[in-house]
Amino acid sequence: MLRFALAPLLAIALAAPAFAEKIPLTELSRYLNALQTVQADFTQVNGDGTISTGKVFIKRPGRVRFEYAPPDRTLVIAGQQQVAIFDPKSNQPPEQYPLARTPLNLILAANVDLAKAKMVVGHTSDAKTTSVIAQDPKHPEYGTIKMVFTGSPTELRQWVITDDGGNQTTVILGELAKGGALGAALFDISAETDKRLR
């Protein structure tokens, strides 16, 4: 009887999609450290359900620029250990806060080591992707970043930032254009501020 009782379970197991092999943390760290410059289109899903689009420029370590498409036109720059949010409707200086206070800092670090104690709080895989949830081990209260990767070859596809207030922002990346020169001016908060206040 036991054989017949197990038969339906076996059928379900065989019908389920094959799970992709979970990409090891060492490989994900190697991949992130190899990303020097990246450009990509992105779609952002905000906590209130609204959607924005734009282009992102990454220059590791420590620099990123989000150019939001119309009608938004917001500009976010991380550089000089700061994050600055430029409101296109304002003549005021940008809102700024330390880069270290955002979980995005974890993938912009000079040396990403996801195997570091207490950094990764989730590491899972499904039929197509591997997901990693990481936090600053010294400041878990700053929030988390969930990174989603595909394999063969390893590629970052999206991230979800959960801030210290529990709000979630999802960034879905288009095709990554890696390598190439990205000028320092793209990430210069002071120069952008001066240009806008003239």
Confidence check: pLDDT of 23 > 80: yes
pLDDT band of residue 3 (cuts 50, 70, 90) is very low
Give residues with Cβ within 8 angstroms of 192, minimum separation 6: 75, 77, 84, 86, 94
Q: Where are the domains of the chain?
A: 18-197
DSSP 146: E
Q: What is residue 19's predicted lDDT score, i.e. its pLDDT?
A: 54
Note the CATH number of domain 18-197. Answer: 2.50.20.10
Q: By percentage, how much of the chain surpasses pLDDT 70?
A: 90
Q: What is the pLDDT of residues 169-193, one digit of tens each?
A: 999 999 999 988 999 999 999 999 8
Percentage helix, strand, coil, to 5, in the chain? 25, 35, 40
**17: confidence class by pLDDT, cuts 50, 70, 90:** very low
